Amino acid sequence: MDMKDIMAISGKPGLYKFVAHGRNAIIVENIETGKRTSAFSSEKINSLEEISVFTHEKDIPLKEVFKAIFDKEDGKESISPKSDPKELKEYFAEVVPDYNRERVYVSDIKKIISWYNLLQKNDMLSFPEEKEKAEESEEKSASETETPEKPKEEKKQDKTFTGKEKES
């Protein structure tokens, strides 16, 4: 799932998938209905990649929250966003134990859970790229530790070579 292509538009219900750029707007498609519409620059448009949840230590990207819910529910739908506020807070505390209870409101929790359920229902939740990125970063870090040694050896060879030039 590429979170940068999924958008929440202020004043419009649901989530939208980016389709194309228009002249003064972007063309988006409602994930539930499949209906295409224009989203103008005067509207507040947020990519889900830009959204994060307040915690006491640092902000957690929404994708990580979705991953936590996905893991908790074994890839199935979570509780209803229309549940009792106390139940929603308890559920969210299980998913994100360190969330800031003063800054994250019940309305935010409802929205996050409804978005998760919508994406899950439309098979738009998958997290295999997390494993691939971790493997790639391990490979890069291993190759980076090898690369600094090679230039050092080359420099030593250069110094030896310049030393021979001076002797001649």
Cα distance between residue 101 and residue 40, in whole Å: 34
Q: Is the dihedral of CA 29, 33, 34, 38 positive or negative?
A: negative
- Measured in residues, the chain has a length of 168
Categorize the per-residue pLDDT at 166 as very low, low, confident or very high, splitting at 50, 70 and 90.
Answer: very low
Q: DSSP per residue over the chain, as a string?
A: --GGGEEEETTS-S-EEEEEE-SSEEEEEETTT--EEEEETTS-EEEGGG-EE-BSSSPEEHHHHHHHHHHHTTTS----TTS-HHHHHHHHHHHSTTB-TTTS-HHHHHHHHHHHHHHHHTT----HHHHHHHHHHHHHHHHHHHTTHHHHHHHHHHHHHHHHHHH-
- For 73-105, what is each residue's pLDDT tens digit? 988 999 999 999 999 999 999 999 999 999 999
Q: Identity (one letter) of the amino acid at 115?
A: W
29 pLDDT above the threshold of 80 = yes
pLDDT of residue 23: 85
Q: Which domains does the chain have, with CATH numbers?
A: 3-48 (2.30.30.730), 51-121 (1.10.10.1650)
As a whole number of angstroms, the distance between CA 99 and CA 93 comes to 7
pLDDT given at position 135 = 55
For the full predicted model, state whether its pTM sits above 0.85: no
**Least confident segment among 8-17, 71-80, 84-93, 139-148:** 139-148
Distance of CA 158 to the CA centre of its chain: 47
Mean pLDDT of 10-31: 92
Whole-angstrom distance, CA of residue 161 vs CA of residue 158: 5
Mean pLDDT of the chain: 82
User: Tokens 């539930």 identify what position?
Assistant: 32
